Every structure is written in C-alpha cells, then in structure tokens.
Amino acid sequence: MDSQMLMYMLIIIGVLFAMIVIAYIILQKNNKEQKYIRELQEGTKTSKYSSEVIYQKLYVFYLKTPFLKRYLLKLRRRLEIINIDDEYLTRKQAAKILTRSLMIVIPLTIIIIAFTYQNTLLMSILLIFEIFLLDTFIDGRVDKIDNNLLKQQIDFFSEIRHAYHEFNMVEEAIYQTAQDDENPEMARQAEKIYEVLISDDPESELEKYYDIAPNAYLKEFAGISYLTKEFGDRKVDGASLYLKNLNNITQEMQLEILKRDKLDYVFQSLSVIAIVPMLCLEPIKNWAMSQFSFTESFYNGKNGMLVQILILIATFVCYILTRKLKDNGSTNMNTKNTENPWQEKLYQVKIVKKIVDLFIPKDGTKEAKKIKTIMKDAASKDKIQWLYINRILLCIVSFFVSLILFMQLHKITINNVYTDPTTTYNILGEMTEKDHKNAMELTESDNDYINYFKGKHDLQQKDIEKAMAKGNINKDYIDSTEDEIATAAKRIMGKIATINSEYLSWLEVLGAMVISMLAYMSPIWMLKFQTKMRQLEMEDEVMQFQTIILMLMRIERVNVEIILEWLERYSNIFRDPISKCVNDYESGPWEALEAMKEEVNYQQFIRIIESLQAAVEKIPITDAFDELDTERDYYQEKRKESNERLISRKGMIGKAIGFTPLVLLFVGYLIVPLVFIGLMSMTEAFNTMMAME
C-alpha cells in the first residue's frame, strides 16, 4: 500500500514537473516572440513629430489648399515617373520640395511688403510675380532629383557590366543590380525594366515604358536590353556588343551631365540678377529723393510710375526668357494636365467656344499652316484652341489693366498737385524743416484757389488775380504786390490746367489697344523664341542620332525601318519629318527617305538620311555607317566641342537678357532722371538769376 501510494505520488509529481517544464517552455517562447515584436516595433516605430510623418501630413494639407494644390500636383506628375510605384516617397519628396520653396518665398514676401507697403500697385505686381518665382524653385528642385538619377545611372551601368559578366543574361544582370538599396530611384527603374523583359508581351510593355521613362538614356538602355535578349549578344572586336552599347550610353550620359553642370553654373545667378531690379525700385527712389529733393516730382509723379512699370515688364519678360534659355531639356516634359487643362474646360463653354473659333484660322488656310508650323517647330504640346484662348485672354486682360494703369497715373498726378510742397527745389540735399513747413502752407493756400476755380473752362489768370486781391477765398494775398499776385496766379493757373488735363484720352485708349495687341502676339513670339533655342540644339540631336545608329547597326536583324523608329522615339527637333517618313515607309523606303531629305535643311542630318538610303538598297547598314565606328573618338571630341559652343552661345544670350533689367534700373530710373531733371533745375535757376539782374 505504501509502495503503491509512493508510486502514484511519484507519477503525479512527474506529470506536474512535466507540465511545469512545458508551461515554462511555452512562456519562454512567448516572451521571446513578444521581445522580438517589441524589437521590430522599436526599429520601425516613428515619432509623430519625425520629418517623415510631418511631410506626409504636409502633403495632405497642401492637397487641400487650393493655391498650393496646383504646384503639388505638378510636382507629383514629375516625381512619380522617377519614383515608380512608390507613393510614400513621391508624397514625401513633393511635400519636401514645396515646403522648402515656401520657406524661401514667404520671407521674400515679407521683405517685399516691408519695402513697398506705401506703393500698393508695385507691391501687388511683385507679389503676383512671386507665383512665377515659385515655379522656378520647384523646377530647380526637380531638376536636381533628375540629375541625381542620371548620376545614379552611371554607377548602375558600371554594376551591370560586372553582373553581365557573371550571369551572361541581360534580365538576370538587371535583376541582380536592381537589388542595390544605395540608389533607390535607379533601382526602381531597373525593376521596371526587368518586369518588361520577363513579361509575356515585352514589346508592348516596352512601348508603355517608353512613355513614362524619365530620360532618353533609360529608353536606350531598355531598348538595347530588349534587342539583346531577343536576338542575342555577339562579339565585336573581341568584346560584347551589349557592353559596348552600354559604354556608348554611358559616354552620352557623362557628356550630358557635364553639359547640365556647366549650364547650371552659367545660369545660376542670372535668374537672381533678373529679379533684383524689382526689389531695388523703392530703395533707389527713397535714396534719390533724400539726396536730391528736385527729383521728388519725377519719382512721385506719372513719369516715375511709367518707368517703374516698364522696368517691371522688362524684368518679367527677361526672367521668362532666361528661364526658357537655361532649360536643358532634362525634365522638359509637359507637367501640366494635358488631358483637361483649364483652357480645355473654358473652351467647352459654348459661348467661349464660339468666340474662340472666330479667331482660329480655318483648316487648310495659309495662316493655319503657319501657326501649326510654329507650334511644331517649338515642340509645343498645346492644342491650337488652347493657344488662342491664351492669346485672347492676354489681350483682354492687358487692355483693361492698361486702362486701369492710365487712370491710376492720372490720379497720382492730381494727388501730387494737391500734396507736393510748393517751393523752388534745392539742387542738392533736402529741404529744412522750416522750408518744408512754409512750402506746405503755400500748397494749402493754392489748394483753396484750385478747389474754387477747377472745372471752369473759360477761366483766365486775371480771374484768379481778382480773387486774390479781394481776399474772397483766403486772406493770404491781401497785402501782396501786383507782381507777387501775378506770379502766384500764374502758378495756380498752371496747377488747374494740369488737373483739368488729367483724364482718360483717346490716345491712351489707343495705347491700351496697342499694348493688348502686343500681348495677343506674345504667345506666338514666345513660340518663335523657343524655336530659335531648339535650333541651337540641332547639332547635339544629330550627334545623339549617330550614337543610336552606332548601337543598332551591328545588332542582327536590325534594318533601316527599326533605326527610323528609334530615331523617331528619341527625336525632338526633327520629330515631325522622321514621323512622316516612318508612316510612309511601307509605300516606298527610298521615296519616304527622299521626301524627308527635301523637308530637312540641316546638312549633318541630310548625310544620315543619305546613308540610310544607301542601306536600303545598295549596302549593309554596317558599311553605310562604318565611319561612325572608325571615327568614334573624333565624333566624341566633336560632341564635346559642340556642347562648349552651345553653352557659350546660351551664356552670351543669357547674360545680355539677364542684365537688361539691371541696366534699365540704373540708367533709366536713376542716372537719366538725375541728369535730366538736374539740368532742367539748373537752367531754371540760371534763368531766374538772369531775370533778377
């Protein structure tokens, strides 16, 4: 009994011990899991005040703010191409760029208000101009991201070479290199290209990628990778043709990076120089009036305001031209809503559509062909309806703004008559406090007579003299001599004549119409300017064509038609004639190329067309373009020299345009008024002295 009892007790103790051990193991495992979860949370948990969270919240705030929403969406359209399928990073970068831009614009707004709060018109114009300044800040930030992507591509292609040697398969090399976390923007592009290559229909997927690729070099890389995967690699001069093509693309990117860096260096201060004159108008005006009191009538009068407006317009135009000139084409994509912009929405209104259609030239007319040619040459993606909506609105707005400005100038002149001190101005320095007090008393006395006599068309000087002598209006001239009364009456008569003449005349209405016509033509002139700037890039584009042909000509099964399709894909200036040639190619290759040759007038591109014609019927493509391979070093040096000339030309034009507002500021707003008004004051002083003698 005792033995059996002992055995039961031992069994129970053993079971309890086993249960305790099992429970301990389970609890220990749970503790490890909880600890692991806590460690994961600690590694991923973000403070609610971290920059990551703040930028995400700012993105949502900007998206709800009407004015900022436009800029945010513009940023998105450019960044989401670089950050493929990464919504978090796209939002973060968009909010970050917009926030930094606002951190520059807001203090500048405070400075503008501080310097120009007494001049409402000038302050309003400067604040409106800040809208365009915000565009520049945003474009600069996005260009920086795009340039970083281009530099990442250099490193990426270097890694591709090593991976390709290891795997000897294009898609595997791209996949392996895409795992690099150090260059996330390029890694996403590589992953996308990899997905294209392994898809069921890589050709159609490749065409889709061409539409969203951030730059032409990624298009070239994707295209060459696809052709190599489909047709295989081959050895040329003992080296892989695929790797040689990668080397060609790398050299193109290196040249482009150098070109962009030099353009940024040349133009980095020109935009600021073009803007500075606007901020200096009020300080220069205040300094000139404090040092030379005789200039007060100019700066506070109609002429001073006119010069201010002209300088502001010149600054605005030069700023836009400088920005267009600096554009390196890196992110020169249409970032606005091309499907349904505000112009299209406005055009859908029936009455607006009827009015706009009256201005648009009919299809087939000489004017319609001319406008379409200008738009094509400028590579404008706008519709002709949008162009004419811009022209009409600019015309209308300019007309009414001009009328308002003319009326404001009349108001300023009349106000100056009532408020300017009436005295003989000193040539140098300011009036003393006593002189200023006496001058203002004389002005107030004159104002009594002006208010009494203004508006009377048959008024004569003797009427004012009689009133002064009798003291009917005020007693200031009762004891004055006839000469003093005559002098004062003549002065008051001149003021009344000035007030009576300050009204909106038909000449000013005609001037407003001329200004509105200039505004109506300005979009066309801007397109022509863009055309001229694109013509500077002709040589650069033809050399890009040579590189593309060099990459394609040794790939098996590549023919002239495929080369033309590639040229069309990467063309900008010559896109229209190449597109027409591709469309007409099936009806006759030689004839299509001949028609393109007649349409083009650039000699270097004509040589390429002639070589393509030879490759169509007579000789292989490699023989038609053998000089591209044998003289590769020469073409590379020529390309560098061409870029140097392009940057030099743009720099000269940019400096001439950028410094124009500064020259107008110092010459037109400071030196000329000081010299002219000073000479007039001296002449008047000498005449007075001669009369006294």
Contacts of residue 125, defined as CB under 8 A and 6 or more positions apart, other chains included, come to 312
What sections of 49-86 are H helices per DSSP? 51-64, 66-82
Do residues 447 and 554 share a domain? no
pLDDT at 330: 40
Residue tagged 């070093």 (tokens): 633
Residue 543 pLDDT level (bands cut at 50, 70, 90):
confident
* Among the listed residues 76, 129, 125, the one whose alpha carbon sits nearest the alpha carbon of residue 105: 129
Give yes or no for residue 145 having a pLDDT over 70: yes
Q: 212, 232, 252 — which closes off a domain? A: 232
For residues 581 and 597, the answer to whether their CB atoms sit within 8 Å is no
pLDDT surpassing 60 at residue 1? no
Q: State residue 49's pLDDT score.
A: 52
- Percentage of the chain beyond pLDDT 90 is 1
Per the rule left: phi > 0, alpha: psi between -120 and 50, beta: everything else, 453 is alpha
Rounded to whole angstroms, how far apart are CA atoms 245 and 243? 5
Task: Give the pLDDT of residue 350.
Answer: 85
Pick the last residue of a domain from 210, 232, 254.
232
- Full DSSP string of 644-684: HHHHHHHHHHHHHHHTHHHHIIIIIIIIHHHHHHHHHHHHH
555 in the same domain as 496: no
Name the packing angle between helices 87-116 and 270-291 (round to 10°). Answer: 20
- Give the H/E segment covering residue 482: helix 482-501
Q: Two tokens at 625?
A: 């373009």
Q: Do 469 and 599 sit in the same domain of this protein?
A: no
Token couple for 355: 């009015």
Q: Is the pLDDT of residue 614 over 80?
A: yes
Domains in the chain, number: 3
Average pLDDT of the segment spanning 81-90 = 76
Contact 520, 387 (CB under 8 A): no
Q: Decide if 258 is inside a domain.
A: no
Q: Please provide the size of the chain in residues.
A: 693
Is residue 611 within 8 Å of residue 630, measured between CB atoms?
no
Q: Are residues 473 and 558 in the same domain?
A: no
DSSP 618: T
On whether both 490 and 606 belong to a single domain, the answer is no
**Over pLDDT 70: what percentage of the chain?**
85
CA distances from 341 to 135, 186, 347, 389, 643 (A): 17, 31, 10, 12, 36
pLDDT in tens, 414-439: 787 777 777 644 444 556 677 667 77
**Per-residue confidence (pLDDT) for residue 19, from 0 to 100:** 60
Q: Report yes or no on 279 lying in a domain.
A: no
Give pLDDT tens digits for 344-356.
888 888 888 888 8
**Per-residue pLDDT tens for 527-536?**
888 787 777 7
> Taking residues 248-266, what's their average pLDDT?
84
Mean pLDDT lowest for which of 327-336, 385-394, 543-552? 327-336
111 and 184 together in one domain: yes
In a shared domain, residues 560 and 499: no
**Is 550 domain-assigned?**
yes
**Is 70 exceeded by the pLDDT of residue 4?**
no
| 363 within domain boundaries | no
Quick: pLDDT tens for 553-581. 888 778 888 888 888 888 878 888 888 88
SS3 619: coil
Is pLDDT larger for residue 389 or for residue 483?
A: 389
pLDDT digits (tens, 9 = 90+) for 261-291: 888 887 877 777 877 787 788 788 888 877 7
pLDDT band at 306 (very low <50, low <70, confident <90, very high): confident
CA 646 distance to own-chain centroid? 20
Name the one residue in this structure whose structure tokens are 């700066």: 299
Which of 637, 402, 657, 658 lies closest to 508, judged by CA?
Answer: 402
35: pLDDT confidence band, cut at 50, 70 and 90?
Answer: low
Query: What pLDDT sits at residue 322?
Result: 83
Residue 318: is its pLDDT beyond 80? yes
pLDDT, average across residues 21-40:
52
Listed residue (470, 518, 473) closest to 492, CA to CA: 473
Structural domain contains residue 459: yes
Which tokens is 294 given?
């005789």
**Would you state the pLDDT for residue 333?**
44
> Is there a domain that residue 388 lies in?
no
Q: Are residues 497 and 589 in the same domain?
A: no
pLDDT at 259 > cutoff 50: yes
Residues 517, 564: Cα–Cα separation, whole Å? 43
Using an 8 Å Cβ cutoff, are 396 and 516 in contact?
A: yes
Strand (E) positions, 534-626? none
Closest CA to 254 of 141, 149, 150: 150
Determine contact, residues 229/222, Cβ cutoff 8 Å: no
Residues paired with 292 in a beta bridge: 429
Same domain, 475 and 591: no
The predicted model gives 6-33 an average pLDDT of: 54
Query: Domain range holding 458?
Result: 420-504
Mean pLDDT of the chain: 78
More confident residue, 495 or 46: 495
Secondary structure percentages of the chain, helix, strand, coil, to 5: 80, 0, 20
The whole-angstrom distance between residue 424's C-alpha and the CA centroid of its chain comes to 50
Quick one: 428 and 560 in the same domain? Answer: no
Q: Are 187 and 176 in contact (CB under 8 A)?
A: no
What is the band of 413 on the pLDDT scale with cuts at 50, 70, 90?
Answer: confident
SS3 of residue 421 by DSSP = coil
Specify if 39 maps to a domain.
no
Calpha distance 118→136 (Å, rounded): 28
654-693 core/surface letters (b: 16 or more CB in 10 A; e: else): beebbebbbebbeebbbeebbeebeeebeeeeeeeeeeee
pLDDT tier at 334, thresholds 50, 70, 90? very low
pLDDT at 27 over 60: no
DSSP 85-120: T-HHHHHHHHHHHHHHHHHHHHHHHHHHHHHHTT-H
Average pLDDT, stretch 204-223? 85
Q: Are residues 469 and 544 in the same domain?
A: no
494 & 547 share domain: no
d(CA 563, CA 621): 10
**Sign of the alpha-carbon torsion through 93, 96, 100, 101:** positive
Does some domain include residue 308?
A: no
Query: pLDDT tens across 637-692, in order?
Result: 777 787 788 788 888 888 888 888 888 888 888 888 878 777 776 776 666 566 55
Q: Domain boundary residue among 504, 526, 561? A: 504
What number is the average pLDDT over the span 584-598?
A: 86
